[in-house]
Every structure is written in C-alpha cells, then in structure tokens.
Structure 1
Amino acid sequence: MKKVAVFGNAGGGKSTLSKRLSEITGLPLYVLDKIKNPEGDTEIAQEDFKRAHQQILATDRWIIDGFGCMETIWQQLNEADSLVFVDFPLYVHFWWVTKRLITGYFKPPEGWPENSPVLKSSLLSYRVLWLCHKHLTPKYREYIKQAQSIKTVYHFRSAKQISQFFELIGNDNLNSTQQPRL
C-alpha cells in the first residue's frame, strides 16, 4: 500500500478515515478539498488544481482523499495501488451531511479547509448526494469490480466495516504482505 485513493459520496467520513489511515501507515495525506479551496471559500483555477493533482500522482507515496473533478478522479483511481471506496446507503450519507452541518458550527469538519462556509458547503453536498448516487456510484462499483484483480480494494458499505478494518490493522503496518480484507 503506497498509493491510496479514498473516494465515495459526500458525507461518508472519508476525511476522518483518510486521516487515520495516514497516521497508521505514515503515507502523506492530500485532501483535495483543501487543494481546490485553500482559503475555504474560494476555488483555485481548474488548470492549477489539475497541475497540483498531477504533481501528487507523480510521487511514489500518497493517500488522496476526495473528488477533484471527473477528469482527475479516474486518473487518481488508475494510479492508486489501493482503493478505499466508502459506499453507504444514501440515507446514511444524507444523515452524515446533516450531522456535519449541525456540528460544523461548533467544530470545523474533519478535512475541510479553514474558513469553509459550512452552510453553503453542506447545501452543495445535499445537491451532490443524489447525483453521485445515481450517476457516479454505479461507475465506482463497476470500476472496483474490474480493478480488484489487480489492486487492493476495500469496499466499505457500513461504518461497522470501517471500525472492523481499523481493529484488524491495529498497529500493524499495511505495507506488509498480509493485508486485511473485508
């Protein structure tokens, strides 16, 4: 495990999972929301983002958390040796976006850029939830189905599976030849 793509619909806990995985493995973590929106409320130019994304992909070790754009997500998945797909039922993603909206007023959401507008970002997440579920999630599922013969794939369908994953790896290094599978 040297290049890990963490992806899935909004509100699935990808940032928390990515941060914890980075702490355990020592792999550098790149949060795409922080790269796209370094000030929290303003987005950098698309070409600048794509260039930064390409520079990350060119390195030999990384965890990339999130979705940049349609072009970069497939590059990211193709370059990764390990895929972590957070694929909860839609109502769970919806609830977790709602929970993040409420708690975001007291504590900034995990992995979000400083000064992110919690209400505006949450409303965008609500709009994206159904579109991703309807159009992108089926493509992700097909991709990992094809990729599992050549990549390590972790397909999480519940928070319990994520907890079990971290219990399995404990303090073990994921770079070992015995990788936990769910």
Structure 2
Amino acid sequence: MSKALSSATGIPLHPLDAIVYKKNGEFVERQIFDEAHESIISSDQWIIDGLGPLDSFNKRLEAADTLIYIDLPYPTSYWFVTKRLLKGLFVKPEGWPDGSSVLKGSLGSYKFLKLSPKFWNDDFTSRLDSLSSHKTVHIIRTASALNAFVAELKKPQAIHS
C-alpha cells in the first residue's frame, strides 16, 4: 500500500526496514537510525512504512499531516506474514533488507503480532481520533477496504493539490 501511495503521489517512500537494518540484516546503531529518521521527517514530504522504535513512531505521528492506520483482523495479518514467508522461501520479498533472514523476520513479525493488542487498542484508536482534528486520518479495517483504498490511489483523479 505504501508503494502504491508513493507512486500515486510522487512522495518519496522510506521503508523503515531500510533504515533500521544494515545490509547484513543486523540492526543499525540507534544514533545512525535517529539521524536518518530525523532527516526524513524534517523533509517537506515523506512516507514511512513501518513502526520502529516507539519514540520515533510518536515523532512521526506528530510530524505527519496524513496518517493511514491499517487495522486488519489478526487472522488476516497472520495470513499476510505467512504468505510473505512462503513466497520468501523462493524469492526475497520486495524491500526486504539484503542479508536478512525471511524466516527470522517472519518469526519476529509473529511475535510482534502477538504483542500488538497491548499497543494497537482502543486507546490508540482514540488517540488517532483526537489527531484527526488537525490531520487527515484514514483507518482501514478490512482487506477489501485496503484493496479499494489502493485502487483509489491509482486513479489519476485521486491526487488533489
């Protein structure tokens, strides 16, 4: 979805994995991440796909003028991770850090999904609601709504000045 959004708007996409991981799949030093992250969010336009360290996520929430929260049911999210893992056994997933294990990354994704309800909950949704008073906020809750959102992005009339 972030790639479609970037393509439709011309806004640069920064997959968080590309600044969190070194080419060998290890984490970059925190100072290097913070500098890269700050450089991105201080630019005029950006799309960042991913969560990363919680304090950097909160900085993005404040800096962004548009927030897109994909709140799919957990079984759907687990299926997407599994599908990426199965495909990743044959072809490296697009945007996957060089040298990083798809298996190890998928296990990390499963662990993250298991812990997600502690963060992605009604309190977070309320926070998004409060941010919507001065930001554009999209909350997408189904795979079909996600597909429709992406399809709408691809239409030339979806881009407004």
Alignment TM-score > 0.5, same fold: yes
Runs ≥4 in structure 1, deviation > 4 angstroms? none
Instruction: Tell me the matched-pair count.
Output: 159
CA distance in 1, matches of 2:88, 2:45: 31
- The Cα shift of 1:110 comes to 2.8
More helix by share: 2
**Farther off after superposition, 136-145 or 18-27:** 136-145
- 1:97 alignment partner in structure 2: 81
Question: Which of the numbers 161, 172, 175 marks the counterpart of 2:157?
Answer: 172
Matched residue type, 2:46: W
- The Cα shift of 1:173 comes to 4.9
Q: Gaps spanning 5+ residues in structure 1: where? A: 1-16, 177-182
Q: TM-score, normalised by structure 1?
A: 0.82
CA distance in 2, matches of 1:153, 1:111: 25
- 1:162 alignment partner in structure 2: 146
CA distance in 2, matches of 1:74, 1:175: 27
Match of 1:153, SS state, is strand
Change (3 A) 1:114 1:175: farther
- 2:120 alignment partner in structure 1: 137
- Is the Cα–Cα contact under 8 Å of residues 2 and 49 in structure 2 kept in the other structure? yes
5 Å-filtered alignment, 1:112-123, equals 112-123=96-107
- 1:31 alignment partner in structure 2: 15
Q: TM-score, normalised by structure 2?
A: 0.92
- The Cα shift of 1:50 comes to 1.0
Change (3 A) 1:172 1:114: farther
Match of 2:111, SS state, is helix
- Is the Cα–Cα contact under 8 Å of residues 152 and 158 in structure 2 kept in the other structure? no
Question: Within the alignment, does 1:64 sit opposite 2:51 as a pair?
Answer: no
Question: Which of the numbers 51, 62, 73 marks the counterpart of 2:35?
Answer: 51
